[in-house]
């Protein structure tokens, strides 16, 4: 795997969220990739579970955009400090921030992702 593939898969991960495309987002992961999402009692494993998770999150949004504020790469691992902005289906505006840490496999797919952000605070903004 070339080091150029690593930022590309991470960029695609974030752009798929903005496109509201859970299939493209899940495709960024290895077939049995794992995501440790805050607020989820168990890790999400496999593309089907990952897709269902993101589809559920995106269902609350009319629009959403994610920016990669800072990207730090070390070998096959990448930490990204991000900011998200969105409009809920109810018209409420939301802003949230966090850090996602990615481990990329030899095929250039996300093997493991650890999310550090506060989904409860984001949902509270959406619900007002």
Three-state DSSP state, 110: strand
What mean pLDDT, rounded, does the chain reach? 94
* CATH assignment at residue 70: 3.10.450.50
Structural domain total, the chain: 1
Residue 6 — pLDDT band, cuts 50, 70, 90?
A: confident
95: number of Cβ within 10 Å: 11
CA distances from 108 to 3, 63, 102 (A): 9, 28, 11
User: What is the C-alpha separation between 91 and 99, in angstroms, rounded?
Assistant: 26
State the residue range of the domain holding 21: 5-127
pLDDT at 128: 74
- In the predicted structure, residue 1 carries a pLDDT above the cut 70: no
pLDDT greater than 70 at residue 2: no
- Residue burial 76-87, b: 16+ Cβ < 10 Å; e: rest: bebbbebebebe
């Amino acid at each position: 795997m070339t080091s150029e593939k690593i930022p590309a898969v991470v960029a695609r991960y974030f752009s798929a969220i903005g496109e509201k495309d859970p299939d493209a987002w899940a495709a960024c992961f290895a077939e049995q990739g794992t995501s440790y999402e805050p607020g989820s009692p168990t890790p999400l494993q496999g593309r089907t579970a990952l897709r269902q998770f993101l589809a559920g999150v995106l269902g609350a949004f009319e629009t959403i955009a994610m920016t990669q504020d800072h990207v730090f790469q070390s070998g096959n691992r990448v930490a990204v400090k991000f900011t998200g902005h969105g409009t809920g289906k109810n018209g409420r505006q939301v802003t949230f921030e966090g850090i996602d840490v990615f481990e990329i496999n030899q095929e250039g797919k996300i093997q493991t992702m650890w999310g550090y952000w506060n989904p409860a605070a984001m949902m509270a903004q959406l619900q007002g």
